[in-house]
Amino acid sequence: MTQLPESSSAPRSDAVSVKAVDKTFDTRSGQVQALTSIDLTVSAGEFVSLIGPSGCGKSTLMRLIADLDQPTAGSVTVFGKTASQARRDQDYGIAFQQAGLLPWRTVAANVGLPLELHGASSSARSARVAELLDMVGLSDFADRYPDQLSGGMQQRVAIARSLAEKPDLLLMDEPFGALDEMTRERMQTELLRICAETGAAVVFVTHSIPEAVYLSDRVVVMSPRPGRIQEIVPMALTRDPEHAEALREERAFFDGVTAVREALHTGSPVPTGARGVENR
């Protein structure tokens, strides 16, 4: 009798689990408490946005999940592994505010880097790179170098790179910040399509309330000094990839915008039941 691999019967672990995390930075002028008592679970396939004023610790939290920095207290796991193991296994794609491209590599070679690191064949790589560049509208720029592109174009290269391996988790810190409004809306819709297709979970930082509402299953509203989770607002939008654009004009969308805006502005305490609500 053939035995099934364990993973096929085991429940899929959460994409991200952050438990009782504090982060304090030691600086020359003293300690900066960037995050305090952060508890957050992102389910497999779930889209969660972080929103809050500048300096509330959004990027710090992303860096802890990506193992680019370590918490002062508490724990972070990614698909049930330690953050550092998940980083070594390259379990996720990253697109951060600064595009982080390698200046000596062409656009195509930057996008193909994760595939190269994982030993994909050169023909498989070039097919996938072509597909990704087409998706972000940069097919004509494959042979250019990053410093020959605008900031918005560099960001699109970084987004394409983060999607190269169809990861189960995407960590995105203001990835659309340098894009014009039209391109931004197109990239948002494209991102939702990709998530629907691949079942990827996303942790997404943004300053834009409509962007958070349009994309997310839950919006995490953070407050500063020290950064903490003020409220988690579940979204009740029905996302149909066929009618993704129409969603921006629907009642549920505006209700979501109002709910997040009120959470940001009133600084109301966490309502019981709102925290940890799972949408999927």
Given the rule CB under 6 A, which residues bind ligand ADP?
A: 25, 27, 32, 34, 54-60, 227
Using a 10 angstrom Cβ sphere, with 0-12 exposed, 13-18 middle and 19 or more buried, the burial of residue 31 is exposed
In the complex, minimum distance from the CB of residue 59 to ligand ADP, in angstroms, rounded to a whole number: 3
If the CB atoms of residues 59 and 162 are measured against Mg ion, the closer one turns out to be 59
Please answer whether residues 224 and 34 qualify as being in contact, where contact means their C-beta atoms are separated by less than 8 angstroms: no
In the complex, minimum distance from the CB of residue 135 to ligand ADP, in angstroms, rounded to a whole number: 27
If the CB atoms of residues 56 and 164 are measured against ligand ADP, the closer one turns out to be 56
Q: Which does residue 57 bind out of ligand ADP, Mg ion, none, counting CB within 5 to 8 angstroms by kind?
A: ligand ADP
If the CB atoms of residues 57 and 175 are measured against ligand ADP, the closer one turns out to be 57
Q: Which does residue 267 bind out of ligand ADP, Mg ion, none, counting CB within 5 to 8 angstroms by kind?
A: none
From the list 97, 98, 100, the residue with the least C-alpha distance to 174 is 97
The two three-digit tokens of residue 15, written as one number: 């994409």
Q: Tell whether residue 155 is a contact of Mg ion (CB under 5 A).
A: no
If the CB atoms of residues 30 and 119 are measured against ligand ADP, the closer one turns out to be 30
In the complex, minimum distance from the CB of residue 132 to Mg ion, in angstroms, rounded to a whole number: 25
If the CB atoms of residues 55 and 276 are measured against ligand ADP, the closer one turns out to be 55
Helix then strand then coil, % of the chain, to nearest 5: 40, 25, 40
Q: How far apart are CA 115 and CA 104, in angstroms?
A: 18
In the complex, minimum distance from the CB of residue 61 to Mg ion, in angstroms, rounded to a whole number: 9
Per-residue HEC secondary structure of 81-116 comes to EEHHHHHHCCCCEEECCCCCCCCCCCHHHHHCHHHH
In the complex, minimum distance from the CB of residue 115 to ligand ADP, in angstroms, rounded to a whole number: 29
Q: How far is CA 97 from CA 19, 152, 199, 216, 267, in A?
A: 25, 10, 23, 19, 26
If the CB atoms of residues 158 and 205 are measured against ligand ADP, the closer one turns out to be 205
In the complex, minimum distance from the CB of residue 9 to ligand ADP, in angstroms, rounded to a whole number: 39
Q: Tell whether residue 59 is a contact of Mg ion (CB under 5 A).
A: yes
Q: Which does residue 130 bind out of Mg ion, ligand ADP, none, counting CB within 5 to 8 angstroms by kind?
A: none
If the CB atoms of residues 25 and 254 are measured against ligand ADP, the closer one turns out to be 25
Angle between helices 181-198 and 151-163 (to 10 degrees): 0
Q: Which does residue 27 bind out of Mg ion, ligand ADP, none, counting CB within 5 to 8 angstroms by kind?
A: ligand ADP
In the complex, minimum distance from the CB of residue 223 to ligand ADP, in angstroms, rounded to a whole number: 10
Place of tokens 């200046």: 103
From the list 198, 176, 193, 178, the residue with the least C-alpha distance to 247 is 193
List residues near Mg ion by CB under 5 A: 59
